[in-house]
Amino acid sequence: MAILTVEDLTVKQGETLALNGMNLSVETGEVVALIGHNGAGKSTFFKTVMGMIDLRDGSIEIDGFTKDSLAYKQRVVYIPEQPFLLPELTVFQHFQLYLESYQQHSDEKVNKIHELTRRFEIADQLDQFPLQLSKGMKQKVQLIAGLIIDAPVLLIDEPFVGLDIYAQQELTSILIEKKQKDQAVILTTHQFDQLEGVMDRYVMLHQGKVIKEGDRTDLGELKRRFD
């Protein structure tokens, strides 16, 4: 079943047509790598799905809901490459804020916070403020904040960059768990090694359009081109 449907999406960034009639359909439980050269439109796509940039033309639907509805917003999570943390909140308070904004606060989710902070080795940082954290730790906080939310669509911009090798392996396992729960993941990456056994399909963007798609058997070719 298609969970995300994008039709003829056209988006301007300043004077640039950053997305120019993009079409994409993603199924439940699918892990899709969105690839393309710098400036191809990958971040613009994520930000448009999240409603951070207005679209000029076309449509986006998640689970049949359109962008302006609360039902749509509750069904998609975005983990940006650059962490966006609030200086006045502790690590734990960030997680609580995320859970509250998605109306997913529960004891089970608090257990999930403890599980993920252990797996990413920041369990001892829960009472720290962002200023006290290293760059990689901040990134882990942003990552965990997004991962504790159960939403049918998860968007992640360069998830592996800046993570130590153990954290990269944990993230790969978590993506498999998300997939098993039928959640769809769309991510940008150049680290295809981490996607062995996880990625179902790649979608190549060029000048704001999908120019090529392929399945996991093309992984070797992608590694050669992008590594």
Q: Which residues contact 43 (CB under 8 A, 6 or more apart)?
A: 157, 188
Q: Is 80 near ligand ATP (CB under 6 A)?
A: no
DSSP secondary structure code for residue 193 in this structure: G
> How many residues in the shown chain lie near ligand ATP by CB under 6 A?
12
Q: Is 43 near ligand ATP (CB under 6 A)?
A: yes
Whichever of 19 and 143 has its CB closer to ligand ATP, that residue is 19
The neighbour count for residue 105, using CB atoms within 10 Å, is 14
Among 3, 9, 18, 113, binds ligand ATP (CB under 6 A): 18
Beta-strand runs (E) in 38-112:
57-62, 65-66, 76-79
Beta-strand runs (E) in 101-225:
153-157, 184-188, 201-206, 209-215
Whichever of 43 and 194 has its CB closer to ligand ATP, that residue is 43
Among 5, 10, 16, 90, binds ligand ATP (CB under 6 A): 16
CA–CA separation, 67 and 173 (whole Å): 30
Whichever of 57 and 115 has its CB closer to ligand ATP, that residue is 57
Binding segment (CB under 6 A) for ligand ATP, from list 31-39, 135-143, 146-154, 159-167: 31-39
Of all helices (H) and strands (E), which one includes residue 39?
none
Rounded to 5°, the CA angle 157-208-192 comes to 40
Binding segment (CB under 6 A) for ligand ATP, from list 9-17, 23-31, 129-137, 216-224: 9-17
Whichever of 46 and 98 has its CB closer to ligand ATP, that residue is 46
CB of 94 to ligand ATP, least distance (A): 24
CB of 187 to ligand ATP, least distance (A): 12
Whichever of 151 and 204 has its CB closer to ligand ATP, that residue is 204
Closest CA to 200 of 32, 19, 14: 32
Of all helices (H) and strands (E), which one includes residue 11?
strand 2-13
Whichever of 39 and 51 has its CB closer to ligand ATP, that residue is 39
Is 192:222 a contact under the CB 8 Å cutoff? yes
Q: Is 39 near ligand ATP (CB under 6 A)?
A: yes
Binding stretches for ligand ATP (CB under 6 A): 13-14, 16, 18, 36, 38-44
